[in-house]
Structures are given as structure tokens and as C-alpha cells.
Copies of this chain bind each other. A is one copy, B any other.
Amino acid sequence: MNSLIFLGTGGSAPTKNRGMPSVALNYNGNLMLFDCGEGTQRQMMRYKIHYGKVKYIFISHLHLDHFLGVFGLIQTLKLGGRTEPLEIFLPRGGIKLIEAIVKIPEFVKMVEFGEGEILKQNNFSITTFLLDHNIETYGFVFQSKNKIKFNEKKAKSLGMKGKMFTEIQKNGKIIINGKVVKLSDVAETKRGFKISYCPDTRPSKKTVKYCKESDILIHEAAFLEEDKDQAQDRKHSTAKEAAQIAKQSKSKQLMMLHLSPRYKSPENFEKEAKKVFKNSSVAEDGYIVKFA
């Protein structure tokens, strides 16, 4: 079973209940982190995520609260004798910052990125897009590959064999004995899973576009509508705005995080968001969402 684990759902400063930003995604044995704030390694221990297995770390922007945890995690992995590669993806200028205070061990590969598809594996991809914050900040879209299940009996009856199975997946159709066979004639396609992660941003049209039809939209909601002027000033979003993005993008589920430490009642965020988009909730540290 694949899972999404909220390691730190606070913003700017931690609170007793909310750690610094980090969301872990465990997909088919690929453990990855979206952001890695101070204390992330300990949150992984607390929530029983094996930190030694982390393969990819994606840093949204170079504000300290989003990447400070990288240093300690690298040190701990080194201490544990790690040899398998760990890839850390950072916005431009990030490598210099990491190298400034820690000697990078050999197993760490750092990559600076801009907008676009930054990672493509057999069964999933990661695409980035620019958010609207006060420094260069990226959202991340995780998309697992569609799964195709052939009805072998039917495929064979239509004359399919060998490489035709690969070809029809590639082109969506194939010609057998002069007759067009469509992929949908011989197979069921199960849509891949889409998770979008949007920390530290004003609501934006680009977010709506890139996060279209997300199964889970993780969007910041630092403020409530009553403090919208501050959300605007500091380039953050309100709960209502996060919900509007969820609605406009036709996402299935909204999970909010990065709540400002000033608010004591996350219920008010849910209440505000649900008026616009019903399937809204506030993520808490330790929340786990499982998916097939």
C-alpha cells in the first residue's frame, strides 16, 4: 500500500503540535520528502517512517523553515553508513547554501531545478511549477503512471500477440489485418494517482492548471479570511482561497497545512474551507493517507 504521511504541518515557526514543513510520500518503495524543515528526521522516527530509506528530497524554496532539516538528516544517514544515492532537488542557489555549512557526503547528489518535469521514473513522475510567493517557490505534482489491465482473452481473439501489447499502449491503437483495435477495446485503464503539493503561495491560476484533477491537493492555508490582508502582504493564502483552488482545479480532496502559529483552532480553517469545497480538511502531524 502506498501512503502519504504528514510529518510537519506548521508554518514559519513550530508549535507544540505542529512540526516544521515536511510531507513524506511512500510510493512503491520510493520514499520521498516534500520539504524538510527543522526536526524532520525526528518526526520520521516519531511516525515510524524509516529515514534510512529516503531516496528523494524536494525543496520548494530556500526559506530556512523549508530546508533546515536536510543538514541533520544527511549527517545521520552518513553516520549510519548510507551508500545508496540520495537525490536532493533544490531551487537555483540551493546547493551553495547546503554546502556552506556541511561537507556533502558522496552518496548525496544535489540537483537544482526550474519549472518542468524534474524526475521521471518507470512508474511515476514529478513536475514542478512556479507558485506566487515572495521568493522563487515551486509547487510539486506527483503523478503515478496509468495502470493498464489487458483482457487477454479478448486481445487474443482479435489477433494480438507479442510486441503489439507494447505498441497499443504507446499509440492507443493498433491495426491488425486491416482492422483498427483501440486500447479501450482490449484493456481497462486505471488512472494514475495525482498528488499536488503547494506550500507558501498566494492562490494562482497556474496552480489551478497544474493541479487539475488531483486526487489529493495539499495547499497551504496560513491565514483565515479575517486576516486576508496579512495573507496578501506575506504572500500566503487563506483557507477559503485554498478551497477555491481545490474547487477550480476539480481536485477530489483538499488537505491544508502551514497554518500560522497564532491560530489555536484548526476547526475554523475547515469550517471556512468547507463552505467552498466540501472535502476539505486540515492536516495534522502524523496524519497518514493510504492509496492503492
Contact = CB atoms under 8 A, between A and B. Distances in A.
Given A41-B14, A100-B101, A75 B64 contact: yes
Nearest to A103: B64
A205 to B, nearest CB: 30
A15 B69 contact: no
A182 B64 CA distance: 59
Interface string A56-91: 000000001100110110011001100000000000
A16 interface: yes
Give how many copies assemble into the complex: 2
Nearest to A260: B79
Interface in A25-74: 38-39, 41-42, 45-46, 64-65, 68-69, 71-72
Contact of A101 (B38, B75, B80, B101): B101
16 contacts: A12-B75, A14-B41, A14-B45, A14-B76, A15-B45, A38-B38, A38-B41, A38-B68, A38-B69, A39-B39, A39-B42, A65-B75, A68-B71, A68-B72, A97-B101, A100-B101
